[in-house]
């Protein structure tokens, strides 16, 4: 049995999600086993707590210690966006594989530098666009490619949440322009990645980015306000290379919505509709000659939709968020083992970041941007 050592940077919500997913993947990965070696966080209490909770062999306050650790083969990065490049490039230079949360970098030039470094070093990479690991998203992609919807005529996508809707929420790393754009990068990268996963490359973008909360408390309860320089809402119009058009909204001040990540794909013969809040279902419409019986039907995830069967032998029993992260880590392990990336890797993340950059530029210039 081959063991692959894991080093985790960051212990927040996503850091814990990574740790949980690596542990779960070990029960499914066969003869290549991820082993939790070390976790790093500047907060010593948090680092020690996560190490004990998830069974890491050791912990540290210095992420550089993970880079220097000969027992670690994969660096899993869940730090704030502006640290991704430095940490990933150091790991790559040390010959380690890298899993990095999205967005990969503040801009596409930095992301491309990371991609080239990984390619030159011959290491495998993956970026945390976990929602496309849903078995039903893979089914949707197959149905579109198979012509089940006919010729594709349009795409409508949205990723809307309300975790920044309250103006009293203080300024944080999410609003730091050194980490890149706002909602269009944080949430928009998910739905843009999903659009590319389903329909392929985007050729042109027109965007309108809006900052609706102009300043926030510099810390919790503070009366001192700090200006907000990134977008709260992004509205994009797209032209896909395949010929159809589409619309996307990314919004982190969408009051009342907790996880409205969804899309509709329309074609000349049928359509698909999906909502992440019910991600074990996808709605499928196909024209029927029987009058009065046309309508969407619900397709329910089951073991025939790989890799659902690894988790449950019966349909309709529901995968969860952490299961998608487990699939993500499992497929990364398989990529390393088989020498063939299952993605989304740094190359795909660069293309998604180019779309984000194009949206920012389009909004500033009030013009279409060709990619």
Under-50 pLDDT residues of the chain: none
Tokens of 355: 């779309």
Q: Check residue 1 and give its pLDDT.
A: 82
| pTM score of the predicted model | 0.96
* Domain 2-130 matches domain 132-370 at the CATH topology level: no
**Burial, 116: exposed, middle or buried (Cβ in 10 Å; 0-12, 13-18, 19+)?**
middle
Ordered alpha helix ranges (H), 79-238: 84-93, 108-121, 135-145, 183-186, 188-199
Nearest CA to 101 out of 122, 124, 118, 76 is that of: 76
The alpha carbon of residue 60 and the mean position of all alpha carbons in its chain are separated, in whole angstroms, by 27
Cα(70)–Cα(55) distance, rounded to whole angstroms?
19
pLDDT at 33: 95
Question: Domain 132-370 classified CATH 3.30.360.10?
Answer: yes
* CA separation for the pair 336, 123 (Å, rounded): 8
- CA dist 354 and 131 (Å) reads 20
pLDDT of res. 289: 67
List Cβ neighbours of 53 (8 Å cut-off, separation of 6 or more).
Answer: 16, 19
- Parallel, antiparallel or unpaired: strands 97-100 and 125-127: parallel
What is the per-residue pLDDT for 44? Answer: 98
Whole-angstrom distance, CA of residue 221 vs CA of residue 228: 17
**In this structure, what DSSP letter does residue 228 have?**
-
For residues 283 and 273, the answer to whether their CB atoms sit within 8 Å is: yes
Fold held by 2-130 = Rossmann fold (3.40.50)
Domain boundaries, the chain: 2-130, 132-370
């Amino acid at each position: 049995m081959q063991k692959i050592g894991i080093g985790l940077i960051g212990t927040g919500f996503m850091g814990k999600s990574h740790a949980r997913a690596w542990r779960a993947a070990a029960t499914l990965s066969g003869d290549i086993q991820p082993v939790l070696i070390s976790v790093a966080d500047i907060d010593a209490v948090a680092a020690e707590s996560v190490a004990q909770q998830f069974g890491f062999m050791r912990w540290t306050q210095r992420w550089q210690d993970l880079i220097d650790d000969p027992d670690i083969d994969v660096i899993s990065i869940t730090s704030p966006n502006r640290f991704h490049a430095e940490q990933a490039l150091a790991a790559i230079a040390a010959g380690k594989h890298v899993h990095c949360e999205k967005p990969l970098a503040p801009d596409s030039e930095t992301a491309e530098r990371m991609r080239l470094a990984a390619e030159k070093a011959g290491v495998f990479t993956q970026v945390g666009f976990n929602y496309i690991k849903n078995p039903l998203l893979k089914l949707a992609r197959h149905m579109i490619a198979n012509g089940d919807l006919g010729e594709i005529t349009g795409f409508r996508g949205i990723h809307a949440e309300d975790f920044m809707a309250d103006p009293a929420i203080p300024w944080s790393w999410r609003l730091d322009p050194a980490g890149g754009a706002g909602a269009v990068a944080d949430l928009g990268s998910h739905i843009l990645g999903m659009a590319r996963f389903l329909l392929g490359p985007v050729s042109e973008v027109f965007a309108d980015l809006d900052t609706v909360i102009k300043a926030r408390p510099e810390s919790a309860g503070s009366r001192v306000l700090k200006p907000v320089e990134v977008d709260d809402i992004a509205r994009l119009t797209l032209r896909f290379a395949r010929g159809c058009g589409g619309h996307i909204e990314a919004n982190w001040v969408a009051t009342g919505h907790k996880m409205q990540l969804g899309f509709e794909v329309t074609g000349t013969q049928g359509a698909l509709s999906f909502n992440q809040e019910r991600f074990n279902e996808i709605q499928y419409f196909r024209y029927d000659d029987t009058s009065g019986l046309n309508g969407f039907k619900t397709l329910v995830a089951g073991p025939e939709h790989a890799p659902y069967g690894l988790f449950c032998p019966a349909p309709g029993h529901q995968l969860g968020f952490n299961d998608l992260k487990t699939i993500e880590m499992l497929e990364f392990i398989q990529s390393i083992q088989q020498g063939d990336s299952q993605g989304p890797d740094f190359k795909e993340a660069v293309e998604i970041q180019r779309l984000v950059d194009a949206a920012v530029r389009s909004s500033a210039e009030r013009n279409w941007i060709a990619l």
